[in-house]
Amino acid sequence: MSKKEFYERKGADKSDSYTIIGGQSNLKAVAKEAKEKGWEEIKGNNDGFNSLQGESAKKDFFSLINANAIVDANGKVINKDIVDPATKIWQTEDYQNPVQKIMNLVQHETGHPKFKTDHPYGSGYHVPNTIMQVLPTRNSTYDSWLLDRLLNIHGSIGEKPNFEN
């Protein structure tokens, strides 16, 4: 869907986020096609999207989620370990099911362009002990600063994300 079509759909708001979930082998082509349709380019990294769980545009409310980072070939949730570059503390994801992981990854990736302003306890991009920490976990959520920022952007906060539109 083009950026123009996305923001012209019925009920659309300028603060809506567009997220595509796809296999790592397809994400590079999806990113290229999205750029051709008016979205900001998402480049991935040196290996494309193979080592990424997700990535977002810097300015557009557009992100990609790597489906291959959610479950393994046996359908078991992949829980990653990573060291937080800011705190140097190892974090381990603790997802029990794929839906938890998908929801947190979507909230995390769509948060990147929305939380640009510096947070009092870390950059607007990676805030320890919140959904915006380097690796969110199933218990990660928003703190009061992030909630205030969402209220400023959206005017209100719904009970749960709307994955229908």
Distance CA 116, CA 10 (A): 28
Give me the count of residues in the chain: 165
Residues of the chain with pLDDT under 70: 85-86, 157-165
Q: What is the pTM of this model?
A: 0.86
pLDDT tens sequence across 98-135: 999 999 999 999 999 989 888 988 887 888 889 998 88
The DSSP output letter for 81 is E
Tell me what pLDDT residue 164 has.
47
Residue with tokens 């994300």: 161
Tell me what pLDDT residue 144 has.
93
Distance CA 142, CA 130 (A): 5
Closest by Cα among 52, 163, 39 to 113: 39
Could you tell me which residues come within 8 angstroms of residue 147 by beta carbon, excluding any fewer than 6 positions away? Answer: 157
Number of CB atoms found within 10 A of residue 32's CB: 13
Asked if 63 and 19 touch (Cβ cutoff 8 Å), the reply is: yes
State which amino acid sits at residue 13.
Answer: D
Tell me what pLDDT residue 165 has.
40
